[in-house]
Copies of this chain bind each other. A is one copy, B any other.
Amino acid sequence: MDKEKEILAAALKLFVEFGFHGTPTSKIAKEAGVANGTLFHYFKTKEDLIVGLYIRIKENLNGYLLSKVDDQSTLETRMKTIYEESLQWALIHRDEFYFIQQFHFSPHLAKVSAEDIEKQTRLHVGLLGEGVKSKIFKSLPVGLIGTILGSQLYGVYQYLVSNDLSASKQKQVIDETFVLLWEMITNIKQ
């Protein structure tokens, strides 16, 4: 692993454990096994490091999701894939997922550029637009559907990590909660 990645990995680990303030750059450098100055060779400021870490993590998540979604399948299948795979990714990359949330409630969020945000939400925004346009969703504001979806995902994640379930039980919870969610936001007739 090259030094830049070592630094990012060390920063992630320490930020999650001690918070942004509680983690001096000197400790990050030490944990990464590089000199103090080397950290500032790769990241001009501590804030650059924090924001850079956030963007890379989001890129990883989005890349993973894109690799799992089959463009040919139905909207429901694609949405279920995103829901399921987001949770699976989050369960495997717990520090990364915690960091995302930690970052969202920090003043550093304001430092993310509009285009970076657009890049990160393109996939989700596209699917939601499709659902509304095709009248599969109930006639609710898109933004509302989006936030409900996102927040339920976070909620189910919290449940999964705070209860130590077997892989199959986890899968079952994920499946069941998707059904609940889908019934809630779509016009189904049964």
Residues of A in contact with B (beta carbons under 8 Å apart): 17-22, 98, 101-102, 104-107, 140-141, 143-144, 147-148, 150-152, 154-156, 158-159, 162-163, 173, 176-177, 180-181, 183-185
Contacts and interface: CB of A to CB of B under 8 A. Distances in A.
- State the oligomeric state as a number of copies: 2
A176 B185 CA distance: 12
Contacts of A154: 151, 154
B176 A180 contact: no
A155 B159 contact: no
A152 B144 CA distance: 10
A112 to B, nearest CB: 15
A154 B88 CA distance: 22
A151 B147 contact: no
Contact of A147 (B101, B105, B156): B156
B162 A144 contact: no
A176 B22 CA distance: 42
A105 B107 contact: no
Contact of A151 (B106, B107, B158): B158
A184 B182 CA distance: 10
A176 B140 contact: yes
Given A21-B20, A152-B148, A159-B147, A180 B173 contact: no
